[in-house]
Homo-oligomer: A and B are copies of this chain.
């Protein structure tokens, strides 16, 4: 693997998941891979799970890490070419990416959608610019349109808990106070379909995801109907794609409740966290034995670790 920006960088998805599950059994086996190597974690936005699970994955691989919190230090990047840089943007991505990529063997970046301009967010300017100007492999720790490390962790979790070959997986929109990016939902939808699961997406009208994310999934506007026979319920809020970044509904009836779970095939409940209890999901569901939110978060270690392993192996073989 050369870089990991999205599902497109995965050659063999079943093999990747299998490898992650192997690593989980014995996480320190590949500790020599990271020897004399180092990774920079760049956060343009806050992070808890991604920050900590990425460092843990690096520890497991013997890989050194340096963390750069960009927001808190007021470091602003210019992405446009040919511009006279007399604004508050002190450095151009061309230099920043080239320099950081000359220091480290791997560069991982988080840059959320700003939800102000759809074209800008969906152009993946930050990720694509880093990929273009950074000589080191780049890892997406959530970008404008996707969160592939989360989707891979979700897939690992479902593989561990599924009881049928092709489970029915339901991605359900749930209400939230603030406008959130579509990144997690986009990636989840793409990865579930790539894994050949039976995916249904349910949300109020106006919350349709971008076509490339919807793909061949079933879209069902009736949440109750969508839940019928489900093996996995994956809850997530996102803001509107069509009316970009808008909160069109806060309807509490879309919360995942124990009553609704009864319609499922004893489904497991999933969410990427952090989750607002009794807004996104009822306590009775997230505290039930069917909840997978903690194992799912734990698998963030192994999704990062398997990606790092494949990137380090590629680096090794290319030298």
Contact = CB atoms under 8 A, between A and B. Distances in A.
Interface stretch (A44-52, A194-202, A206-214, A219-227): A44-52
Contacts of A69: 73
A124 interface: no
A293 to B, nearest CB: 6
A103 B98 CA distance: 32
A315 interface: no
Interface residues of A, number: 58
Contacts of A99: 48-49, 273, 294, 297-298
Given A59-B64, A91-B274, A103-B301, A283 B75 contact: no
B52 A40 contact: yes
A74 B100 contact: no
A98 B294 contact: yes
A279 B86 contact: yes
A84 interface: yes
B48 A102 contact: no
Given A46-B73, A46-B74, A301-B103, A85 B294 contact: no
Interface in A48-93: 48-49, 51-53, 55-56, 59-60, 64, 66, 68-69, 72-75, 78, 81-86, 90-92
A166 interface: no
Given A64-B59, A103-B298, A298-B102, A73 B72 contact: yes
B52 A100 contact: yes
A64, A73, A99 — most chain B CB neighbours (10 Å): A99
Contacts of A277: 78, 83-85, 92
A262 interface: no
Contacts of A85: 276-279
A104 interface: yes
A275 interface: yes
Contacts of A28: 36
A314 interface: no
A96 interface: yes
Contacts of A78: 277
A95 interface: yes
A99 B60 CA distance: 17
Nearest to A88: B177
A69 B74 CA distance: 13
18 contacts: A28-B36, A46-B73, A46-B74, A48-B75, A48-B100, A49-B99, A52-B66, A69-B73, A72-B72, A83-B278, A84-B277, A84-B279, A86-B276, A95-B273, A95-B297, A99-B297, A103-B298, A103-B301
Interface of A: 28, 31, 36, 38, 40, 46-49, 51-53, 55-56, 59-60, 64, 66, 68-69, 72-75, 78, 81-86, 90-92, 94-96, 98-100, 102-104, 177, 273-279, 283, 287, 293-294, 297-298, 301
Q: Which 7 A-B pairs have the closest CB atoms?
A: A91-B274, A85-B276, A84-B278, A99-B297, A55-B66, A102-B298, A46-B73
